[in-house]
């Protein structure tokens, strides 16, 4: 056993890869036979944020297969580049667990290509997928074909179920889940804002004892006579000179 290049010798590495490929082949055949894979009318739909993969019949819209999955990696045909799930920022953390397990195994076993973020050259997607299946005892795999600039995505099924549902129901449930999640976070935000508002009201600057004492000592401002009159609603009295009074008397006398 070689320790310089890892725990596994060259012969042991080869044996491990062959075992992985055999496991993938046998498991995949069993899964396809038991779950009705292989029909021309079969289509798939998956939801990465919920870790759900579905297979359905396009003619009848009957969903017959449900699975939880992990992303092993992607292969871009244009650049001939393989990228592991753990090194792809578009892959949710929850779907990187098996890819991370492969990376760890590669470091310990001395399989350098298993711990490199990306590899250029020949597509080794099926080989890498078989390693992921063998290490996690997965139930099967699927290659989601790319196109229009998107790479092929290699996934493995960690848990599978036979189901009898309708395609429309799956879509409706996903929409409801998104709306429920959105409402949940809106409630959290509203609650947080209310708490913050209360906190702000409590922590508003209150006058200190010194400021209150000073305020009490300040003399009251004197109110002007005009303001006093206005506040009491007393009509102002006009003072008239004697000459003006005599003049007015003379005017009225003439009438």
Extract the tokens encoding 38: 């292989």
CB 68 within 8 A of CB 155: no
Residues contacting residue 188 through CB under 8 Å, at least 6 positions apart? none
pLDDT tens track, the chain, 255 positions: 445 567 899 999 999 999 999 999 999 999 999 998 988 999 999 999 999 999 999 999 999 999 999 999 999 999 999 999 999 999 999 999 999 999 999 999 999 999 999 999 999 999 999 999 999 999 999 999 998 889 999 999 999 999 999 999 999 877 665 544 555 555 566 666 667 767 777 777 666 666 666 666 656 655 544 444 344 444 444 444 455 545 445 544 544
- How much is the pTM? 0.68
Sequence spans of domains, the chain: 10-182
CA distance 248 to 129: 118
CB 142 within 8 A of CB 157: yes
Instruction: Tally DSSP H helices, then E strands, for the chain.
Output: 7, 7
CA distance 114 to 99: 9
């Amino acid at each position: 056993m070689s320790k310089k290049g890892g725990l596994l010798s060259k012969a042991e590495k080869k044996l491990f890869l062959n075992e992985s490929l055999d496991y993938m082949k046998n498991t995949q055949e069993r899964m396809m036979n038991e779950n009705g894979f292989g029909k021309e009318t079969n289509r798939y739909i998956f939801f990465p944020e919920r870790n759900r993969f579905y297979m359905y019949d396009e003619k009848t819209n009957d969903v017959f297969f449900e699975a939880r999955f992990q992303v092993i990696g992607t292969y871009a045909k244009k650049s001939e580049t393989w990228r592991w799930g753990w090194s792809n920022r578009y892959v949710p953390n929850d779907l990187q667990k098996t890819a991370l397990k492969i990376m760890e195994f590669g470091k310990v076993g001395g399989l350098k290509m298993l711990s490199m973020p990306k590899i250029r050259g020949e597509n080794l997607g099926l080989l890498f997928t078989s390693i992921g299946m063998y290490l996690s005892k997965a139930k099967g795999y699927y290659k989601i074909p790319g196109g229009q600039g998107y790479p092929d995505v290699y996934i493995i099924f960690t848990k599978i179920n036979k189901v009898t549902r309708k395609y429309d129901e799956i879509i409706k449930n996903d929409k409801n889940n998104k709306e429920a999640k959105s409402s949940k976070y809106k409630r959290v935000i509203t609650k947080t804002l209310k708490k913050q508002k209360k906190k702000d009201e409590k922590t508003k600057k209150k006058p200190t004892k010194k400021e209150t004492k000073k305020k009490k000592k300040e003399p009251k401002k004197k109110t002007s006579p005009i303001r006093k009159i206005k506040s009491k609603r007393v009509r102002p009295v006009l003072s008239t000179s004697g000459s003006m009074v005599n003049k007015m008397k003379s005017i009225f006398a003439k009438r």
